[in-house]
Amino acid sequence: MYKMYINGEWVDSISGETYDLINPATEELISQVAYGDDRDAKKAIQVAHDVFPEWSQTTAKYRADILMKIYQLMMDKKEELAKIITEEMGKPFKEALGEVQNGAEHVAWSAEEGKRTYGQMIPSPTSDKRLLTIKQPVGPVAAITPWNFPLSMVTRKLSPALAAGCTAVFKPASQTPGSAIRFFELAEEAGLPKGVINLVMGKASKIGNEFVSNPLIRKITFTGSTEIGKKLMVGAAEQVKRVSMELGGHAPFIVFDDADLDAATTAATASKFRNNGQTCVCTNRIYVQSSIQEKFVSMLKEKVEKLVIGNGLDPETTIGPLIDEGGFNKAQEHVDDALAKGATLVTGGQRHDNKTGFFYKPTVLSHATDDMLITTEETFGPVAPIYTFETEEEVIKKANDTNYGLAAYFFTKDLNRSIRMYEALDYGMVGCNDIAVGTVQGPFGGVKESGMGREGGPGSLTDFMETKFVSIGM
């Protein structure tokens, strides 16, 4: 039985309700989970508020030392954490290990950044004054995460909050609470005082509503759909609460005719099919210059057909199940719609014949066009549509023609074009002959309806701190 963690105690929901947690590959029961609501969230928020004065007064070094202990424990338990992730959301074990590594690195990064939250001395215009700024934690934070990175999303949010001196209340996605629960246990083992972080699970709308409407919460940090993100922003506006939003994406992947096609097709396969297409930075639209279209399609087909579908715990597996029936149906709907509107099926396009689980064959479609659903909606599944283009100007226009603005990728050997491209693409992150935008050293986040705020990178604590200006008269 998975319980909530409030004020250092593992507790049932106030209602006593629970729900069943199901493995998406085997459809077997993993555990029962406490199913809370706004009352549990309220209790947890009160605790985060009560312990804030003491926690925020601790030194940055003290907090960094605890975070580094958590980092070490995560590294020690890497395999155990990865297994929980794979069982709950299906990603291949190797990818889950990568997620644990990345998640742990966010903890270490925040520990380091927390020691460098410098204020400033500002030259005064008059000799009888001294002017300065100090940085202070924003206050109790509420964090909500999705199921596609069940552990690294936790650390991306809670570790900068902790390093900055904030307390927090956290809600994981209902499909994937296990690795977050294990993270809370490790934080306790590392000596984090009780009540500094609290975990609630259950009815998302009620918990989310309590997070935005409770005046004790000073900041909301959310990763999930643009639809829910907008609702939370509207709610947070009532009390002018700070928000960080990491929302949906619709990444273009652009290949020019001078690109290294072997590197580009390998990168396109990884970027599209990693986590079965279920990441917000996954490639959604592949634009290929018309002269290399045929060659690109056949090279991509060959690589995609080598992907191995199966249970993520099987070491051979490179593609696990989709998270649930809804995810499966969306992939099928996008493929059906594209085929009806004239796309060509290159490979895949149907269910994989496993007895259990939501397995969809990795799919490539060529001759995709702008009127297809897949061009505008985020698929969040293993479907790669290929479009053609003639000129740089044309492809920039097409790539930017979306309300999303998270990640974009392009491949070319022309340096001047590279510079023009990364400046012109209206996205928060751009991969130039590269797809690895999720590294902890880089600021991760989007523009337009993909959100606001950045996680990781230089200044990753900025969103969790206020700048206070002090004017001293002498």
> Which residues participate in catalysis according to the annotation?
246, 280
Sole residue written with tokens 């279920």: 278
> Which residues lie below 8 Å from residue 279, measured CB to CB, with a gap of 6+?
148, 149
Smallest separation (angstroms) from ligand ADP to the CB of 171: 6
Q: How many helices (H) and strands (E) does the chain have?
A: 14, 20
In DSSP terms, 246 is beta-bridged to 223, 451
Distance in angstroms (rounded) separating the CA atoms of residues 249 and 446: 8
**Token representation of residue 185:** 């246990």
> Of 74-82, 228-236, 335-343, 366-374, which part binds ligand ADP (CB under 6 A)?
228-236
Out of 7, 31, 174, 418, point to the residue binding ligand ADP (CB under 6 A).
174
Letters for 300-339 (x = contact with ligand ADP by CB under 6 A, - = none) are ----------------------------------------
* Nearer CB in complex with ligand ADP: 69/203: 203
- Contact call for residue 369 and ligand ADP (CB under 6 A): no
Distance in angstroms (rounded) separating the CA atoms of residues 75 and 69: 10
> Of 140-148, 344-352, 357-365, 416-424, which part binds ligand ADP (CB under 6 A)?
140-148
* Nearer CB in complex with ligand ADP: 175/318: 175
Closest CB to ligand ADP: residue number? 208
Smallest separation (angstroms) from ligand ADP to the CB of 75: 26
Out of 231, 341, 367, 420, point to the residue binding ligand ADP (CB under 6 A).
231
- Contact call for residue 97 and ligand ADP (CB under 6 A): no
Out of 24, 90, 140, 146, point to the residue binding ligand ADP (CB under 6 A).
146
Query: What is the amino acid identity at position 145?
Result: T
Site size for ligand ADP (CB under 6 A): 15
Helix (H) or strand (E) holding 160: helix 152-164
DSSP conformation letters of 279-341: STTSEEEEEEEGGGHHHHHHHHHHHHTT--BS-TTSTT-SB--BSSHHHHHHHHHHHHHHHHT
Listed residue (383, 444, 451) closest to 160, CA to CA: 444
Smallest separation (angstroms) from ligand ADP to the CB of 338: 21
> Of 22-30, 221-229, 268-276, 446-454, which part binds ligand ADP (CB under 6 A)?
221-229
Please check whether residue 118 is in contact with residue 135, taking contact to mean a CB–CB distance below 8 angstroms: yes
Within 10 A of 65 (CB to CB), how many other CB atoms are there? 13
Distance in angstroms (rounded) separating the CA atoms of residues 401 and 426: 9
Smallest separation (angstroms) from ligand ADP to the CB of 275: 12
Q: Alpha carbon 208 to chain centroid distance?
A: 18
Indicate the DSSP class of residue 138: -
* Nearer CB in complex with ligand ADP: 227/262: 227
> Which residues lie below 8 Å from residue 389, measured CB to CB, with a gap of 6+?
254, 287, 288, 289, 290, 395, 398
Distance in angstroms (rounded) separating the CA atoms of residues 324 and 329: 9
- Contact call for residue 26 and ligand ADP (CB under 6 A): no
Q: State phi, psi for 108 to the nearest 5 degrees.
A: -65, -40
- Contact call for residue 144 and ligand ADP (CB under 6 A): yes
* Nearer CB in complex with ligand ADP: 378/392: 378
Out of 60, 85, 111, 173, point to the residue binding ligand ADP (CB under 6 A).
173
Please check whether residue 143 is in contact with residue 169, taking contact to mean a CB–CB distance below 8 angstroms: yes
Smallest separation (angstroms) from ligand ADP to the CB of 150: 10
Smallest separation (angstroms) from ligand ADP to the CB of 271: 19
- Contact call for residue 124 and ligand ADP (CB under 6 A): no
**Neighbour-count burial for 349-373, b at 16+ CB within 10 Å, e otherwise:** beebeeeebbbbbbbbbbbbeeebe
* Nearer CB in complex with ligand ADP: 77/157: 157
* Nearer CB in complex with ligand ADP: 190/322: 322
Helix (H) or strand (E) holding 219: strand 219-223
Distance in angstroms (rounded) separating the CA atoms of residues 303 and 307: 7
> Of 87-95, 167-175, 184-192, 415-423, which part binds ligand ADP (CB under 6 A)?
167-175
Distance in angstroms (rounded) separating the CA atoms of residues 179 and 419: 40
> Of 156-164, 166-174, 256-264, 455-463, which part binds ligand ADP (CB under 6 A)?
166-174
Helix (H) or strand (E) holding 121: strand 120-122
Smallest separation (angstroms) from ligand ADP to the CB of 173: 4
In DSSP terms, 254 is beta-bridged to 287, 410
Letters for 199-218 (x = contact with ligand ADP by CB under 6 A, - = none) are -----xx--x----------
Smallest separation (angstroms) from ligand ADP to the CB of 23: 17
Footprint of ligand ADP on this chain (CB under 6 A)?
144-147, 171, 173-174, 204-205, 208, 224-225, 228, 231-232
